[in-house]
Homo-oligomer: A and B are copies of this chain.
Amino acid sequence: MKRAVLLVSCPDRKGIVKEIASFIANNNGNIVHFDQHIDPNKEMFFARVEWDLKGFKLSEESIKEEFSSVAEKFSMNFSIHFTDYLQKVAIFVSKQGHCLYDLLQRFKSGELNGRVELVISNHEDLRSVAEFFGVPYHHIPKHSSNKEFAEKKELELLKEKRIDLIVLARYMQILSKDFVSKYENKIINIHHSFLPAFPGAAPYRRAYERGVKILGATSHYVTETLDEGPIIEQDIIRVSHRDTLEDFIQKGKDIERIVLARAVRWHLEYKVLVCENKTVVFS
C-alpha cells in the first residue's frame, strides 16, 4: 500500500487545509492522516498529510510540480515523500555498542523504515557487530590533527552512498560546522542527559555528583552549537542513592537506546518538522 507524505510549514492563513485537501481529493487520493498544528505565537501553520496513492491521478514525478502552485500561493516550505522508498542511513559510533546493536536489530526486523548503508567509526571495536548484520564498517580514525581530512573521507562515503540520514549512536567526536551544514536536520544525536541539564562531557558523572533522582536522555538534530539543536524526544529513568556511577551508566543505556530509536523512527516516517530551534513531532 504505497502512500505519499506531504510535510508543510508556512505562515498561517485561512483556507490552507481546504487547498491541500482539495489538491488530494481532486486527484482522487484518499487522505489517511491529516495532522495539523498551528503555533499561535509564531502564527505558523504546520501539517503532515498522508494519502493513499492507489488510483491517484498524478505520477510520483509530477506530484511535486503540480503541488507547487498551491505551495506558492501560501509561501509554503514543503517536501513530498513516498512510503515505499527505503531511506539510506549511516550510523557513526565510537566504542560503545549498545545503541548500534539496538538500531541494527531494529532495522533488520523491519521496525525502522530504512536501510543502513554503512557504519563509520573512529575505532575498530565494533566492526564485528556491523558485519554480523551485513553492514560495511569503515574505520576512520580521528585526531585533532587529521580531523579535516577524516571528515573529507566521511563526506565522500556519505555522498557516494547517497545517505539520507546520519545517526550519531554515541559517537564521541564533534562534527565541524561545515559538515553539519551539509546535512541540516539530517543528523540525529543521542545525548545521555535530560537537556538542557548536563550538556557537554560526562553527563552521568555530573548527574551523580549533583544527586539527581532521575536520569534523562535526549535525541536531537545536530546544529553548530553542541547539544543545543532541536529536541526530538526525551525520556527518563529513576535512580536512587543506592545507584553508583556505574549503575547510572547502566540504567542510562536503557533509555539512550529507546530515545534514539524513537527519534530515528519518527524521522524515517517523516513525522518531524523543525521550526527555528524546536520540533513538531506528529504522532
Contact = CB atoms under 8 A, between A and B. Distances in A.
Interface of A: 12-18, 21-22, 24-26, 28-40, 47, 97-98, 101, 105, 109, 111, 132, 194-198, 210-214, 216, 230-236, 240-242, 244, 250, 254, 258, 261, 277-281, 283
Nearest to A250: B111
A200 B277 CA distance: 22
A233 B213 contact: yes
Contacts of A97: 105, 109
19 contacts: A14-B25, A14-B28, A14-B30, A15-B25, A17-B21, A17-B31, A18-B22, A31-B36, A32-B40, A33-B37, A37-B241, A195-B212, A196-B212, A212-B231, A212-B234, A214-B234, A240-B281, A254-B258, A283-B283
A34 B8 CA distance: 14
A17 B14 contact: no
Contacts of A32: 38, 40
Contacts of A258: 254
Quickly give the copy total for this chain. 4
Contacts of A98: 105, 109
Contact of A216 (B31, B105, B109, B214): B214
A133 to B, nearest CB: 9
Contacts of A39: 241
Contact of A35 (B30, B36, B109, B194): B36
Contacts of A47: 34
Contacts of A35: 35-36
B101 A283 contact: no
Contact of A24 (B18, B216, B279): B18
Contacts of A216: 194, 214
